[in-house]
Chain A
Amino acid sequence: MNRVYAALAIAGALLAAVPLLGLPLFYESFCYLVFHWIVLATSWNILSGYSGYFSFGHGAFFGAGMYTTATLASRFDVPFLWTLPAAALVAVLLGLALGAVVFRVRGVRGELFALVTLAFTFVVGTIILNTRIDGGPGIYLSAVPIPKIGPSPASTFYLLGLAAALATLAIAYGIYRSRLGVGLFAIHDDEDVAEVLGVPTFRCKMVAFGVSCGLAAIAGGIHALFISYVTAGDTFTITVPLTVVLMSVLGGTRHWAGPAVGATIITALLYAFTAGDHAIAGKAVFGGVLIAVILFMPQGVLGTLVARRRKRRASAVPVPAADAMMETRPPREARPIGPERILVAHGIRKAFRGVRALERVDIDVREGEILGLVGPNGSGKSTFVNLVSGHYRPDGGELVFAGEDIAHHDAHWIARAGVARTYQIPRPFEHLTVLDNVAVPAMFGAAHLDRDAALREARRWLEFTGLADKAEWLPEDLNLHQRKFLELARALASRPRLLLLDEVLSGLTPTEIDGAIRLIRRIRDEGATIVFVEHVMRAVWALTDRIVVLDHGQVIAEGTAEEVMGRSDVVTAFLGKAHA
């Protein structure tokens, strides 16, 4: 990891010496433009590429930065370099204000987020155009003194641009490798699952957005002095966001350096065709090159190169004979069931648009037990799991976990507290490797480990579930059985105190079910309490200490398996009434 920072530092030092070479100054101005777009594209990618929250509003923050610098430098005579942090601050506040409203609304994702940010750009632009900030004539910066950083003004912009680009790349890389980055990539694939696994999604998005806006504003501030005449009509358009999207996609949005590669290529291409004689044809060639690159490198230039390298690595791992379940530790004695109730649900109500999914549900879960939750389809079992894990909030009633009221907390808080769940239809993070999938909850769940420890923990759980040899695979390469076990490994990696298994056995063959049963027993022996939602009665009989029966959203029976399954009302609920 240090290699990258070192490489950036060395590149920075080398490039910083360029103005001393005495080359024609045009090259420095050209390089400034490349650095400028590197900052814009990379900063955009920090939110939009990593997390998938596609923003069409980068122009608003770039423009906010431009106008902050322009106003402070030309109207208030603030020295230019001091305007840059001010520009960043303004944009960050603006972005956080927008994010605070927009990120909380669940439905605004994907193209709706793009639309909100685009609309935001037009709103900000119109306000600036119509108020005293600009009012129409634009702001003129030719009178602002350019700081003497390099031997010439062109060198000054070159060095400022270089510094901004290096800082942006370092930040992008830092986030990429950090816990925040992992969280963002998890959000990209499935935000709801990420939240349930403990990723504080709102916080992650806000931080990424804030950083993105701040960096864009700095690029804007520097650019304001570069072009020395700022107008609202040229700034608050779809041009900047569209260009950064193209650059990032061309280079690869999933890599921290992808946008920089794309920015360099596109800026260089734009300049290659400026000769007056073939300007029109040149533009067509530019379009053609873009098409050609993306057709043959669909994940972007860097993305494709990285993917090819990963494929080679994954195929190099030797494949052992069968799904051996390795015993990593000697089995512990079965822990006795404690008297404490780890989970108390009292009077729980939940309705969806008139359909009452749960009605006055009381369920206690004792520490160390395996509680079976059974009932016919539509009885509310999954809803209960969703409520406990924080996917939904209950409409009424109390939900207390380990002494804490969890009904009003975000899902990620509940995950941190020690609750984990699996999904009936596996929902792995499709673009993360199997190993990374399991590392996410290890980093964000109750264990809250750092990256290296999380990866080690993830490997351990992959071994536990027999997926160790597939660590570098992508989830799409797994079969259903393996995906279910991946779900399981993921749920375990956060070291939960309470594990909710939602029909984890559905779709498995009898042999696979046996293996799963053994595995679940071992999990309980390791110290977890398990709520086991299941239809496969064989497993329910074999595993559970107690059963709760739900029907039409209400608890109709509770007790040991023998007690409950003999009752006629339970049989009726499952099988229907006998009509003679």
Chain B
Amino acid sequence: MRALAIHKEEVTMRSTTVRHLVGGIAALACALAVVAGTASAAPSGPPIRIGSTLALTGPLASTALVHQLVGDIYVEQINKKNGLLGRPVEWIVKDDQSKPDLARTLYEQLITVDKVDLLMGPYATGAILSAMGVAQRYNKVLVHHTFGIPSLAKYDAQFPTWSLGADPAATFPNTLFDALATTPKPPKTVAIVTSKFPSVHFMSLGAREAVKKRGLQEVVFLEWDFGNRDFGAIAARVKDANPDLVWVGAIGLEGNQLLDAMKKIDYTPPLHFYMYPAPGPMAQAPEAKNALAATIFEEHAPYLNNPGAAEFVKLFNERAAKAGLPYTAVETQAAASYSAWQVLDAAVTATKSLDDKVLAEWLRKNKVDTIQGKLRFDGPSNYGDDLMAVKQVQNGRWVTVWPKSVAAPGATLMTK
């Protein structure tokens, strides 16, 4: 029985084995090593405790296990070098069972009973909102990685690493349509079908606006209840409307379910876009050929050139395979997660402090190098640049195609 590496208590270790530092260590690691000042590379002293919850069980567990892996990897990496401020890092993670009210209470436990030094965000918008409320109450910094509705992030010491930009419903659809405009035959008619799940619904409404503004024609607009099982009628209506582009406001498996239903009635949309699909199933399904989606990181250049990216990707691929995950590539979820750790790390290291006020001040004023690129937090709701890009399933893998600055070398948006 393969168990996931679930909780790691990293205690001070006296390393007797000789290690080499793997090539490509980021400048970040060097910065950490400076602090120790001793000949030994191992951190020492009382551990710095970082607390968070994750949906280790329940419906959100399917994606949350990526975040668990990432956290384990980061903590291991940091403890192999010089720890945080020379001290070992201990990550205390609790299972919020995919329930926001549990997440809220567990964060309170982490702060008031376990008395952790720092917080890390949980998985997904609902839990993050709950955690944010608690963080606000106790004036703790909350760096989080999977928050989908920037307009709801009202606490001034929360820092998002999912770089949606402050108004993604307005900005991202434009990014997509800009990408599509570069194809030989840009779409003129658009079908917008969406789940009513909060973090995708408002994006789809933004898409409707964009369609209007660009003078395109919306041929059908459908909304379904999150949890819908039967996509036959929806697929049939899309097929009937015969659009050039199908925008699917899908989250998780919904995209695959719709694709499945379309396949069953022999319909392949000319262009299709999915908001937040579960990456593994979407990349691996044969009928998902050329599917488009949003991303902030993929496993190719130029992303791989960012600090820490290459090493992380390699580690993640290994660990995911070892943990028995069917899909082992790094994409938005893992990247946002790793960035969150990098951000927290950078703030602590730069200020040499664990004081949340100090950390928040620093983050608001400074930029952090992450595997996504440089992140800043001085925009509305502490959101910085919109780093959302467009990726596409090409030959069973996700490949970024737009904007050109982050597209994989030589990659273009493929149409039928």
Contacts and interface: CB of A to CB of B under 8 A. Distances in A.
B140 interface: no
Contacts of B391: none
A273 B154 CA distance: 32
Given A24-B112, A126-B225, A276 B95 contact: yes
B198 A26 contact: no
B106 to A, nearest CB: 6
A277 B7 contact: yes
A578 interface: no
Contacts of B132: 142
A32 to B, nearest CB: 8
B129 A279 contact: no
A232 B226 CA distance: 10
Contact of B201 (A24, A137, A274, A280): A137
Contacts of B197: 233
Interface stretch (B96-104, B296-304, B335-343): B96-104
Interface SS, A side: helix
Interface in B36-65: 53-54, 56-57
A278 B5 CA distance: 10
B198 A276 contact: no
A97 interface: no
Contact of A276 (B92, B111, B137): B92
A226 B108 contact: no
Interface in B99-119: 100-102, 104-106, 108-109, 111-113
B294 interface: no
Contacts of A280: 56-57
B196 A29 contact: no
B130 A229 contact: yes
A228 B133 contact: yes
B202 interface: yes
B89 to A, nearest CB: 15
A228 B130 contact: yes
Among A129, A137, A223: residue with most chain B CB under 10 A:
A137
A502 B132 CA distance: 70
A26 B113 contact: yes
B360 interface: no
Contacts of B207: none
B193 to A, nearest CB: 14
B62 to A, nearest CB: 13
B206 to A, nearest CB: 12
Nearest to B5: A277
B22 interface: no
Contacts of A137: 149, 198, 201-202
B198 to A, nearest CB: 5
B17 to A, nearest CB: 25
A279 B57 contact: yes
A226 B7 CA distance: 28
Contacts of B54: 276
Given A227-B130, A229-B126, A275 B105 contact: no
B223 A136 contact: yes
Interface string A212-241: 000000000001001111011110000000
Contacts of A108: none
A119 to B, nearest CB: 15
Interface string A136-149: 11101011000000
B411 interface: no
Contacts of A275: 7, 94-95
> Residue among B93, B94, B105, B113 with the most chain A CB within 10 A?
B105
Interface centre among A25, A142, A279 (most CB of B within 10 A): A279
A33 B226 contact: no
A276 B225 contact: no
A233 B133 contact: no
B152 interface: yes
Nearest to A137: B198
Quick one: which of B54, B102, B198, B201 has the most chain A CB within 10 A? B198
A520 to B, nearest CB: 63
A246 to B, nearest CB: 15
A229 B132 CA distance: 11
Contact of B106 (A136, A152, A274): A274
A268 B368 CA distance: 41
Given A227-B130, A279-B6, A136 B196 contact: yes
B97 A270 contact: yes
A212 B298 CA distance: 53
B198 A231 contact: yes
Given A136-B223, A274-B95, A275-B94, A29 B105 contact: yes
Given A275-B94, A276-B6, A280-B56, A136 B105 contact: no
B227 interface: yes
A154 interface: yes
A549 B280 CA distance: 82
Nearest to A143: B154
A328 to B, nearest CB: 60
Interface string B238-277: 0000000000000000000000000000000000000000
B21 to A, nearest CB: 29
A270 to B, nearest CB: 7
Contacts of B95: 273-276, 279, 282
Interface string A83-97: 000000000000000
A30 B105 contact: yes
A448 B104 CA distance: 52
Contact of A142 (B129, B149, B198): B129
B252 to A, nearest CB: 12
A276 B196 contact: no
A579 to B, nearest CB: 69
Contact of A129 (B105, B106, B133, B225): B225
A276 B126 CA distance: 19
B225 A154 contact: no
A275 B223 CA distance: 38
Contacts of B152: 140, 142, 229
Given A136-B223, A274-B94, A276-B54, A154 B201 contact: no
Contacts of B101: 33, 223, 226-227
Contacts of A277: 6-7
A427 interface: no
Given A30-B105, A226-B101, A227-B101, A24 B57 contact: no
B34 to A, nearest CB: 32
Contacts of A270: 97, 102
A153 interface: yes
A89 B227 CA distance: 30
A136 B154 CA distance: 20
Interface string A243-285: 0000000000000000000000000001001111111101100
Nearest to B4: A280
A137 B169 CA distance: 13
Contacts of A152: 137
Contacts of A228: 129-130, 133
A126 B94 CA distance: 33
Contact of B7 (A136, A154, A227, A276): A276
Contacts of B96: 274
B94 A29 contact: no
B359 to A, nearest CB: 22
Contacts of B226: 233
Interface string A462-500: 000000000000000000000000000000000000000
A280 B6 CA distance: 10
A331 to B, nearest CB: 69
A232 B93 CA distance: 28
The 9 closest A-B pairs by CB, nearest first: A277-B7, A24-B112, A279-B95, A276-B93, A279-B56, A26-B109, A276-B7, A136-B196, A136-B201
Given A154-B108, A276-B56, 13 more contacts: A24-B113, A30-B105, A126-B225, A136-B223, A142-B132, A142-B152, A142-B154, A227-B104, A233-B196, A234-B126, A276-B6, A280-B56, A282-B95
9 contacts: A25-B112, A136-B198, A136-B202, A142-B132, A142-B154, A234-B100, A276-B95, A278-B6, A279-B57
